[in-house]
Chain A
């Protein structure tokens, strides 16, 4: 056996003076404790044990034990796989790092996915600490063994290891690695093909361009037409990396046929993936192909029969439009993208990105083409959709001006006040405030206030309460005159409402609008009403009336 020669190793061994205090048996007993939790704790402190044993005994006693006894709860194995990734110094530095391979190799074959993934992660990590020679002597054979294992788990793990050793081995070994990867791409079990497909892009990146063209493209084409849609959709992901690697002139023949086919795949999952990766694909294939191929493909995705696909595509509208070449951007948006906007999910996504699309084409043009959509969405069955629209009203109103607003949007804003969902009524109230801030008190007095006050006589008490909520919100923006002259009388009159909820909301409203009123008015008109309410038979009305009296200092 080699003596430890690295400087760090020497230091550790040098400080080992008292390691005989801890016979390996005692430590191993800890790792074997019957209680899983204790076992788990011990494994998590494996580095402490290794340090106690020193580098040499860690290599000759601890690691063989760990390799031999790998049959445990998955939690313990997961912790072990993680620990071993940070063990290089504890076995004596990079020179000895290959000692960690046997236990990690076993861990890379277990059934449980998280353990396997962690083992692969650790293997990838320590692969960088191998010298090129060790990589060929120790690491690469391990990858080969995993790649030809008879249960799918080891082959799945192998897929993640090719790309870390490929760049640092000789060309003969490289050829072998490519062959193994090819085999796994056409593996019998879909699990392995999925793993290979998900690593295809990563592997392509470390390959020489000639092999990308000869090997990767054929694998890509095969995986993209796999019988299982779960494999095909992973090929779409790889497509981005592959397209980035190839020179522009090869894309059309090598990548585009497959990508076109994926965008029209019969499985919605594959189409979803295309939609989800659309911006990346767009960047990878460049402006020319985007114009000729991706625009129609994107149109189809926006019109897809599955809402999931449409929603994924709609999420990409902003980025897609931003990345369009400037010379044709506006035409493409106006003639190809906007007309596709039919279903509420898609429209909602566009409208929620309105400010961004706005930067690309003017708001007026956008509003004209979106107006029918806005009107329809304002009455959408889903309240969240209606809520989203309300939130864009102030922006639209600001950009479009009073005239356009009064003509097209005002009636919508008023209709929301009597929506059957409270959240919508609340948002509509808040919206009114913002509109008044934009358009001024005079506009409010002429257009909004009469309608709001009219609802005070509605037979439905919830509508009557909406009047009060609107007054709460509007009084400050409208100012003293409108509040005193128009709003206050209505509020005072409502103190006689037969529904207690209305009455205590009158008290709350008076408290709210009090600061806007002058003190004469408070004393003469508000005080008597609050005193009357403070003697109400309903306990809540009493409470809020008293609160208002004390807040307004009318006692």
Chain B
């Protein structure tokens, strides 16, 4: 389908009279300088540079590979310190020499930590972590586009990426090095460090988030003491995202990490983990930007089910509670997730949720949006789901029959109508007796429903009349009381008045 392309916000309103030409740039001969400048300014952003008080001039150090073994560690350390100098990347011509020296030094550090053994000795740990912290930890700049829509808009890229990338690369190689000693690292990679690392996941730059994802995964894998803390802080980030800001760029990446963490949970599941599922993962489905991380979220949910089938009911009831009411796009996603869940559901669990679930599925089938109806009807093409339906036909058919019957007669979309006929046919073959009974009683049921409807209207009318009467009598009562009071007051006043008159 064609989606209208959005105009850039800075674009001027085009002339409205007869001479409006779409590609005015070529025709009108006006200089377009402002447009060009505006575009350049929008693509990069960085607030990293500000905290450097005075700029240091860098001088190149000898190469690591040429260093004699005795001086190797000392040189490595010096290079790390050199890389703590930050540069202004918003000004792309500032201090090019310094930038090049740092880039070369970072490259050497990456190379050396990745390939040579025995480099990582204890005194280097604090220096390495300091260099990493100084470079990557920063308050992320305000988004250039406050209504940033990750699906539509181009992300703002980090201007200092040429250095930042190498710092991340170094960090990753450092963690993955066979010489890496968690017992030494844990003194420097502590809770505060992890918290700052997690905050960076809000970066708009997808390249940065990709590195962070791999790095956090390694930290989680190697530093066992931080695991619970990392999980707790991810919870906090998600809860803030769900209930406070609705904005966090790294939800998909964090979920991806969690996907593999859930896989490793011990059985039986700790209550902490169940709480995470019920109070964090399920409510994440309410997010407006669900489409960006839905695949990862659904994966996590299914992982939980495969770990422990008893959480199935929480999941399904949770999804039903948060079922989208107005956003059909999200409804299709929910249906997709339900199918993924049903693919691996245990039949005993299915029975526990089939009733509310198929009521919702029936509601989807009667959706006027054909994609929603179609997605729901596709369930009948799934062999495993079909077998579950067949086993529980006595319960499910009465739940959906009315809807199928009605929608087959009145849906505007022919594809949906023919899909429904197929479903009805399947049911007929499954249990023709039940099918005939339902067909026969359809009209009676309809009548009963109408009757109930009338009774309800009657009840409310009665209630409202009664309310009216009571409010009236209350009003009267209070008026009477007021009159009474006034009369009392008057009678009290009277003697005074007469006294006043006599004097």
Interface residues of A (CB under 8 A from B): 11-12, 15, 18, 21-22, 26, 30, 34, 38, 45, 48-49, 51-52, 73, 111-113, 151-152, 189-191, 194, 227, 229-230, 266-269, 305-308, 380-383, 418-424, 459-462, 465, 500-501, 504, 540
**B473 to A113, Cβ gap below 8 A?**
no
Contact partner of B142 (CB less than 8 A), chosen from A48, A306, A501, is: A306
**A420 to B28, Cβ gap below 8 A?**
yes
- B interface, by DSSP: helix, strand, loop or mixed? helix
Query: Top 3 A-B pairs ranked by shortest CB distance?
Result: A420-B30, A422-B15, A381-B34
Q: Which of B166-174, B207-215, B257-265, B457-465 contacts A (4 or more CB under 8 A)?
A: B457-465
A73 partner residues in chain B, CB cutoff 8 A: 321
The yes or no answer to B240 lying at the interface (CB within 8 A) is: yes
- Beyond known contacts A190-B236, A381-B33: 10 more, CB 8 A cutoff: A15-B474, A26-B459, A45-B460, A51-B470, A111-B243, A191-B236, A191-B239, A305-B50, A500-B18, A504-B18
Query: In the complex, what residue of chain B is closest to A307 when comparing beta carbons?
Result: B142
User: Distance in Å from the Cβ of B322 to the closest Cβ of chain A?
Assistant: 9
**B236 to A227, Cβ gap below 8 A?**
no
User: Distance in Å from the Cβ of A358 to the closest Cβ of chain B?
Assistant: 29
The yes or no answer to B22 lying at the interface (CB within 8 A) is: no
Task: Give A421 to B34 CA distance when docked, in angstroms.
Answer: 10
The verdict on A21 contacting B462 (CB below 8 Å), with A111-B283, A460-B29, A501-B18 known, is yes
Task: Convert B236-277 into 0s and 1s, putting 1 for each residue whose CB lies closer than 8 angstroms to a CB of A.
Answer: 100110011000000000000000000000000000000000
**A112 to B463, Cβ gap below 8 A?**
no
User: Distance in Å from the Cβ of B446 to the closest Cβ of chain A?
Assistant: 16
The verdict on A423 contacting B244 (CB below 8 Å), with A191-B236, A227-B195 known, is no
Q: Which of B6-14, B94-102, B178-186, B390-398 contacts A (4 or more CB under 8 A)?
A: B6-14
Query: In the complex, what residue of chain B is closest to A36 when comparing beta carbons?
Result: B325
The yes or no answer to B467 lying at the interface (CB within 8 A) is: yes
The verdict on A305 contacting B459 (CB below 8 Å), with A190-B240, A191-B240 known, is no
The yes or no answer to B17 lying at the interface (CB within 8 A) is: yes
B139 partner residues in chain A, CB cutoff 8 A: 229, 266-269
B466 partner residues in chain A, CB cutoff 8 A: 18, 51-52
The verdict on A421 contacting B473 (CB below 8 Å), with A112-B243, A189-B236, A190-B236 known, is no
A269 partner residues in chain B, CB cutoff 8 A: 139
Task: Give A206 to B95 CA distance when docked, in angstroms.
Answer: 56
B279 partner residues in chain A, CB cutoff 8 A: 111, 151
**A11 to B13, Cβ gap below 8 A?**
no
User: Distance in Å from the Cβ of A81 to the closest Cβ of chain B?
Assistant: 16
The verdict on A48 contacting B463 (CB below 8 Å), with A305-B50, A383-B34, A423-B12 known, is yes
Task: Give A48 to B18 CA distance when docked, in angstroms.
Answer: 61
Task: Give A501 to B474 CA distance when docked, in angstroms.
Answer: 74
**B12 to A422, Cβ gap below 8 A?**
yes
Query: In the complex, what residue of chain B is closest to A469 when comparing beta carbons?
Result: B17
List B213-251 residues whose CB lies under 8 Å from chain A.
236, 239-240, 243-244
A459 partner residues in chain B, CB cutoff 8 A: 29
The yes or no answer to B32 lying at the interface (CB within 8 A) is: yes
Task: Give A419 to B12 CA distance when docked, in angstroms.
Answer: 12
Task: Give A45 to B468 CA distance when docked, in angstroms.
Answer: 13
The verdict on A381 contacting B38 (CB below 8 Å), with A113-B244, A422-B13, A462-B28 known, is yes
The yes or no answer to B192 lying at the interface (CB within 8 A) is: yes
**B34 to A461, Cβ gap below 8 A?**
no
Q: Could you jot down 19 A-B contacts, CB within 8 Å?
A: A11-B474, A12-B474, A15-B469, A15-B473, A21-B462, A22-B463, A26-B459, A48-B460, A52-B467, A111-B243, A111-B279, A111-B283, A189-B236, A227-B195, A268-B139, A306-B142, A421-B12, A422-B15, A460-B30
Contact partner of A51 (CB less than 8 A), chosen from B10, B31, B359, B467, is: B467
**B470 to A12, Cβ gap below 8 A?**
yes
A26 partner residues in chain B, CB cutoff 8 A: 459
Task: Give A465 to B14 CA distance when docked, in angstroms.
Answer: 16
List B463-503 residues whose CB lies under 8 Å from chain A.
463-464, 466-467, 469-470, 473-474, 477
Task: Give A268 to B164 CA distance when docked, in angstroms.
Answer: 21
**A191 to B456, Cβ gap below 8 A?**
no
Identify the interface centre among A48, A269, A308: most chain B CB within 10 Å of its CB. Answer: A48
User: Distance in Å from the Cβ of A447 to the closest Cβ of chain B?
Assistant: 24
User: Distance in Å from the Cβ of A343 to the closest Cβ of chain B?
Assistant: 12
Task: Give A380 to B41 CA distance when docked, in angstroms.
Answer: 14
B464 partner residues in chain A, CB cutoff 8 A: 48
User: Distance in Å from the Cβ of A200 to the closest Cβ of chain B?
Assistant: 18
Query: In the complex, what residue of chain A is closest to B143 when comparing beta carbons?
Result: A308
**B34 to A305, Cβ gap below 8 A?**
no
User: Distance in Å from the Cβ of B204 to the closest Cβ of chain A?
Assistant: 15
**B236 to A308, Cβ gap below 8 A?**
no
Task: Give A297 to B383 CA distance when docked, in angstroms.
Answer: 69
Task: Give A380 to B38 CA distance when docked, in angstroms.
Answer: 10
The yes or no answer to B37 lying at the interface (CB within 8 A) is: yes
Task: Give A501 to B50 CA distance when docked, in angstroms.
Answer: 53
A500 partner residues in chain B, CB cutoff 8 A: 18
List B30-62 residues whose CB lies under 8 Å from chain A.
30-34, 37-38, 47, 49-51
Contact partner of B192 (CB less than 8 A), chosen from A227, A268, A308, A418, is: A227
**B37 to A308, Cβ gap below 8 A?**
no
A22 partner residues in chain B, CB cutoff 8 A: 459, 462-463
**B19 to A461, Cβ gap below 8 A?**
yes
The yes or no answer to B123 lying at the interface (CB within 8 A) is: no
**B30 to A501, Cβ gap below 8 A?**
no
**A49 to B12, Cβ gap below 8 A?**
no
**B141 to A306, Cβ gap below 8 A?**
yes
A382 partner residues in chain B, CB cutoff 8 A: 10, 34, 38
Task: Give A382 to B460 CA distance when docked, in angstroms.
Answer: 60
Query: In the complex, what residue of chain B is closest to A72 when comparing beta carbons?
Result: B321
Task: Give A418 to B29 CA distance when docked, in angstroms.
Answer: 10
**B19 to A191, Cβ gap below 8 A?**
no
Contact partner of B47 (CB less than 8 A), chosen from A111, A112, A305, A380, is: A305
A423 partner residues in chain B, CB cutoff 8 A: 12-13
User: Distance in Å from the Cβ of B197 to the closest Cβ of chain A?
Assistant: 13
**B13 to A268, Cβ gap below 8 A?**
no
B12 partner residues in chain A, CB cutoff 8 A: 383, 421-424
Query: In the complex, what residue of chain A is closest to B32 when comparing beta carbons?
Result: A420
Task: Give A424 to B13 CA distance when docked, in angstroms.
Answer: 10
Query: In the complex, what residue of chain A is closest to B13 when comparing beta carbons?
Result: A423
**A418 to B477, Cβ gap below 8 A?**
no
A229 partner residues in chain B, CB cutoff 8 A: 139
**B13 to A191, Cβ gap below 8 A?**
no
B244 partner residues in chain A, CB cutoff 8 A: 113, 191, 194
A419 partner residues in chain B, CB cutoff 8 A: 30
Task: Give A406 to B32 CA distance when docked, in angstroms.
Answer: 28
Task: Give A168 to B192 CA distance when docked, in angstroms.
Answer: 41
User: Distance in Å from the Cβ of B192 to the closest Cβ of chain A?
Assistant: 7
A189 partner residues in chain B, CB cutoff 8 A: 236, 239
User: Distance in Å from the Cβ of A472 to the closest Cβ of chain B?
Assistant: 12
B32 partner residues in chain A, CB cutoff 8 A: 420
The verdict on A381 contacting B470 (CB below 8 Å), with A49-B463, A191-B239, A306-B142 known, is no
Identify the interface centre among B37, B470, B477: most chain A CB within 10 Å of its CB. Answer: B470
B19 partner residues in chain A, CB cutoff 8 A: 461-462, 465, 501
Contact partner of A420 (CB less than 8 A), chosen from B13, B31, B243, B462, is: B31
A380 partner residues in chain B, CB cutoff 8 A: 34
B462 partner residues in chain A, CB cutoff 8 A: 21-22
User: Distance in Å from the Cβ of A503 to the closest Cβ of chain B?
Assistant: 11
The verdict on A268 contacting B47 (CB below 8 Å), with A21-B462, A30-B459, A45-B460 known, is yes
Task: Give A465 to B15 CA distance when docked, in angstroms.
Answer: 12
User: Distance in Å from the Cβ of A6 to the closest Cβ of chain B?
Assistant: 13
User: Distance in Å from the Cβ of A262 to the closest Cβ of chain B?
Assistant: 14
B15 partner residues in chain A, CB cutoff 8 A: 422
A383 partner residues in chain B, CB cutoff 8 A: 10, 12, 34
**B240 to A30, Cβ gap below 8 A?**
no
B47 partner residues in chain A, CB cutoff 8 A: 268, 305-306
Task: Give A18 to B466 CA distance when docked, in angstroms.
Answer: 9
User: Distance in Å from the Cβ of A387 to the closest Cβ of chain B?
Assistant: 9
